[in-house]
Amino acid sequence: MPLLMAVRGRGGVRSHRPIKLVALAGRRRREAPKPGTRRRTAMNLTPKLFRSYASKNIRDPRLRQTYRMATSHALEHRLRAVREVPEWEALRERAHRIKEEAINHLDQYLEKLEGKVVANGGKVFWARDGREASDYIISTAQRIKARTVVKSKSMTTEEIGLSHTLEKHGLETVETDLGEYIIQLAKEMPSHITAPALHMTRGQIGRLFSRKLGIDYTDVPEELCAFARKRLRQKFLAAELGISGVNFALADTGTIVIVENEGNARLSTTMPRVHMAVMGLEKVIPKFSDLPIFLKLLPRSSTGQKQTSYVSFISSPRKSGEMDGPEEFHLVLLDNGRSEILADPRMRESLFCIRCGACLNTCPIYQRVGGHSYGSVYSGPIGAVITPLLQGVEVAKDLPYASSLCGACSNICPVKIDIHHQLLWLRQRVVEAKGTSWQERLMMKLYLAGMKDSTLYRFGSGLLRTALLIAGRRFQPLKVPGWTETRDFPPLAEKSFKQLWKEMEGEENRQ
């Protein structure tokens, strides 16, 4: 059975419901979670309060300087790395086409991936939502009597709040990526896709380690890293279950690919008895030969490296005669709203994202308000697209407006996602759902009426001009949200374009 008949257009069926995952897995259907009901993070942030968070964070000079320095540094490194690749634009175009092929035929490639993984000795579980994914992982942990779980960096597991759920069920769950480990100790959500603790200074991290781990205060990065490495090594040795994300999944070989710089993912996937890889449906690509293109684009776009320190290829559990590797390998394929995105031709392109974080680094809004303002594990321009799609426009109605629409995000995206136009389409949805303020809706209705009737336009212009003279250019009596709270209303021209045009024509006729 296809993942989405609607997308493939078979039999003329059109639907925005996920038709699949249970059919392939033979599992009972559950009601999809209602928008806005997905778990909040330990910080208890929500995209509903974007304006409040942004207003607070933009007034914090230390935070703004931290983001400005970090993003500027990342962009400089990226620029140097990209200049070394003369065929960069051709690679971006090729990557776009590969992702387009994979997403447009997602059902075929996922079924092919599943078949290969199973043939290689692994197990595949189709999870409709975060709850099903978590339940499967917990049941596996209970079956093998696991007490300690080590996790490598994974935005997908952050999305479903997996660590929090595992801890609630009595499993010691340790994030082993240094940035993720820091924010786990701080009980915070990631502030950046590739640099989770980007918002924290080394002094803050030193005080956190001293308070939480009982060590003497130091803000020397090498000393902090050495202590974290020693502590995490003990957890690797004790863990029965290792959980990772997936950067790419190769349909033709059943291989998952993980790129990293710290080596923690390799330890998390080889030392525990059982390895559980959690991936969003969109991570699959058609074949092994497509991978080198992404391995050129991803490191340069995210960290400015030619290549990451570690690239792991995992196709199966440990085989006879091999010295390391898990006894069991499980691949969890997570939907969690992706089928609904897939069914939307306009928004489907957001599934091309390879989580490089480049659009965050170049975004003037993200640079000023920071990642936590978005109230979601996905921040920045791509987060402003993904979060409303996954959690519901009514929950995240302000995020599509967290953009100047300058297009920098689209220009830097290594897979050429048209991010700023997707934000425009989401704004349209917000308007259609009456998510804008009543003042703005009233203004737009009056403007539309004026554009249709020249007499009404002249009358309205005169009335508005008088109002601005009396009330001031911030239009204080109305205080239209998003329009006159922080900026002056532009002064109206004394004459309309039509009037000026007529005068010009009159002068030409007289000549």
pLDDT tens track for 255-286: 999 999 999 999 999 999 999 999 999 999 99
- Supply the pLDDT for residue 41: 42
> Do residue 297 and residue 446 come from a single domain?
no
Among the candidates 339, 357, 392, a domain finishes at: 339
Is the pLDDT confidence value at 58 over 80? yes
Mean local confidence (pLDDT), 40-64 = 86
Q: Is position 412 within any domain? A: no
**Given this model, what pLDDT does residue 478 score?**
53
Same domain, yes or no: 304 and 446: no
The reply to whether 156 and 274 lie within a common domain is yes
Quick one: average pLDDT of 27-43?
A: 41
For residue 50, is it within any domain? no
How many structural domains does the chain have?
Answer: 2
* Residue 453 pLDDT: 77
Length of the chain, in residues: 511
Report yes or no on 368 lying in a domain.
no
**Is 226 domain-assigned?**
yes
Confidence tier at 441 by pLDDT (50, 70, 90): confident
Q: Is the confidence at residue 36, as pLDDT, over 80?
A: no
Rounded Cα–Cα distance for residues 480 and 482 (Å): 6
pTM of the model: 0.84
The per-residue pLDDT for 60 is: 96
Residue ending a domain, choose from 289, 321, 339: 339
In a domain, 215, yes or no: yes
CATH of the domain at 223: 3.40.50.10420
The yes-or-no verdict on residue 331 having pLDDT over 70 is yes
Strands (E) located in 252-390: 255-260, 274-280, 284-285, 310-314, 328-334
Residue 366 has pLDDT above 50, yes or no: yes
For the stretch 398-437, pLDDT in tens is 999 999 999 999 999 999 999 999 999 999 999 888 766 6
Mean pLDDT of the chain: 88
Q: Is residue 293 part of a domain?
A: yes
CB atoms closer than 10 angstroms to residue 175: 27
Considering the domain architecture, whether residues 147 and 259 belong to the same structural domain is answered as yes
What percent of the chain shows pLDDT beyond 90? 74
Provide the residue range defining the domain that includes 471.
438-510
Average pLDDT over residues 212-234: 95
339, 368, 390 - which closes a domain: 339
Does some domain include residue 33? yes
Range 302-328 average pLDDT:
94
**Contacts of residue 128, Cβ cutoff 8 Å, sequence gap at least 6:** 18, 21, 22, 27, 29, 30, 32, 335, 336
Answer yes or no: do 157 and 301 share one domain.
yes
Same domain, 328 and 190: yes
Tokens 């987060």 belong to 383
∠ CA 260-387-483, rounded to 5°: 125
